[in-house]
């Protein structure tokens, strides 16, 4: 196993993941917040509003958007932005 720098907090850890075990928990909480927000509100048409309204940092939202889990949301927002 290699030592890596966590892309969320910058600490060193050894794992095959991109984020350290501490941040993994935080990521799950952020994803839950994001999903709960999306389930109960209209989807804002940009990431900045989504970050502001859901309380999840833009940096983390951008990272989540690259995962399969949020790919349909990413597609939706991309379409919205094309229409602006």
Positions in the binding site for Zn ion (CB under 5 A)? 6, 8-9, 20, 23
69, 47 contact by CB (below 8 A): no
60, 27 contact by CB (below 8 A): yes
Residue 19 or 77 having the CB closest to Zn ion: 19
Minimum Å gap between C-beta 70 and Zn ion is 20
Minimum Å gap between C-beta 14 and Zn ion is 12
- 39, two tokens: 């389930």
Residue 10 or 83 having the CB closest to Zn ion: 10
């Amino acid at each position: 196993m290699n030592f890596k720098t966590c892309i969320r907090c910058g600490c060193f850890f050894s794992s095959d993941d991109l984020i350290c075990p501490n941040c993994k928990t935080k990521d799950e909480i952020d994803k839950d917040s994001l999903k709960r927000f999306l389930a109960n509100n209209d989807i804002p048409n940009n990431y900045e509003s989504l970050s502001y309204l859901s309380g999840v940092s833009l940096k983390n939202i951008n990272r989540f958007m690259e995962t399969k889990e949020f790919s349909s949301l990413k597609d939706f927002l991309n379409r919205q932005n094309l229409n602006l």
